[in-house]
Structure 1
Amino acid sequence: MLRQAMIRCTCFFIRSLNKKNVHQRQGLPTLLPMFPIADTKNPAAVQAAVAAIHGEMFRRGDREFVSRAFDWAVDAFLGKYRDYQPIDALYHDLEHTLQGTLCYTQILHGRQRVGVAPAVPQRMFELGLLAILLHDTGYLKVRGDNEGTGAKYTLIHVSRSANFAQQLLAEKGFSTEDAGIVMRMIRCTGVNVKIDAIPFQSEVERIIGFCIGTADLLGQMAAADYVDKLPILFAEFAESARYSGTKTMFESAEHLLKMTPTFWEKYVRPKIEKDFQSNY
């Protein structure tokens, strides 16, 4: 119980970081509420929150873009796109994506509110929104794939997600250039990604990619029930190991729980502050 209490304190600390960091680095007061600002179990609530921020940031923008993007992503996770099944990975589910999406939106909103340069134009914000919404579609299985769950694709889910995004965006009329931007942004969510190997085409694209990678990590670890979900996360790791013939980093769900503070201090925090340059 003491260990779980300490781990929950770590997660609370992560939530507070998401609120304060950008503003404190700029010497400005905190302007935004602490994450989350919507129930991430409710896609409509998250969509409404993201749409409100999008409307505030880009007052002359396409008011329907956010709803279209959410419809595409939600349909995919519900098994309503092409021949894909509904998501059956228990940890990397729709809520996990919504946590990252809400966090991404708040990070970009915070950057704009405090005037961090370079400014992010509407098009790049929206491509980033597509990237975070689609970044875990690599866990989806096609119909007829009845072995295990989508968790078996853990080691290759980033490339599968990028390919999924490329296919969907082409169907929706996006240019090859825009699809390429989204695919590079998705690569930022890979656990072992070498950032220097991603051929970003602009500074803004790189920053958005870093914000997506940051949001993917903070969105889940700042969730109030993150600790409670660790057993199902371990189950995904174990399934992936069986499918790929590799070993997991953790011996058990209890071991994963025990290592969470170390995971934060030795991997996540250096990742978001060094590799992703503290874009939060």
Structure 2
Amino acid sequence: MNRRGNEYDVSCRVNTTDSALVNTEVDRIFLELYPRSATAQIDRAFRDLTTMYCGHRPGYHACDTAYHDIQHVLEVTLAMARLIDGYERARMGLEPLDAAMFRLGVITALFHDCGYIRTLDDRQ
């Protein structure tokens, strides 16, 4: 029996508590779909997200919410990349998504809960 740990995705291949590992998997999916495109914007977004959620962004606390934490955000982001990948592989005549739309989807997923990060003057 294969038990999935809470820190892994549903495939048991990606540790969703490690932003670098999720970044690598998202880049892999992106480059399979768009081999001539660069991952620099995606990589920058992952670095910025990690900086913010770990409390290294000036003026902000680290993430202190129980559910809307970095693991949740990384799981949503990986799911978004996989959804776009699935759409592209099965679209059968529907309009394709380009690399810019993939980036937009992934970066939106990465920052969808950043409003939960409190500023230093927020004591609630």
TM tier relative to shorter chain = 0.7 to 0.9
- Contact 1:39 / 1:46 at 8 angstroms: preserved in 2? yes
CA distance in 1, matches of 2:64, 2:98: 35
Deviations 1:70-121 (A, max 9, x none): 0111111112224111000011100000010011101111111123522111
Whether 1:142 and 2:116 are equivalent positions in the alignment is no
Map of 1:182-261 to 2, 5 A cutoff? Answer: none
Q: 1:90 aligns with which of 36, 42, 66?
A: 66
- TM-score normalized with structure 1 length: 0.39
**Aligned-partner Cα distance in 2 for 1:119–1:146:** 46
Which structure would you say has the larger Rg? Answer: 1
Question: 1:129 aligns to what?
Answer: 106
Q: Secondary structure at the match of 2:74?
A: helix
Unaligned runs of 5+ in 2: 1-9
- Check the 8 A contact 1:85/1:140 in 2, yes or no: yes
Query: What is the one-letter code of the residue matched to 1:84?
Result: Y
Percent of pairs with identical residues: 28
1:39 Cα deviation from its structure 2 partner: 1.1
CA distance in 2, matches of 1:134, 1:36: 24
If each structure's helix is expressed as a fraction of its own residues, which one has the higher value? 1
1:59 alignment partner AA = P
> Deviation at 1:50?
0.4
Q: Of 43, 52, 55, which aligns to 1:79?
A: 55
Map 1:2-151; keep pairs closer than 5 Å: 35=11, 37-116=13-92, 117-147=94-124
TM-score under structure 2 normalisation? 0.84
Matched residue, 2:4: none
How many residues align structurally?
Answer: 114
Partner of residue 7, structure 2: none
Shift of 1:35: 4.2
Residue 106 of structure 1 aligns with an amino acid whose one-letter code is R
Question: How much is the aligned-residue C-alpha RMSD, in angstroms?
Answer: 1.5
Greater RCO, 1 or 2 (C-alpha within 8 Å, sep 6+): 2
CA distance in 1, matches of 2:48, 2:12: 23
Q: State the Cα deviation string for residues 33-89 of structure 1 (Å, max 9, x = none).
A: x64541111111111100101111111111323211101111111122241110000
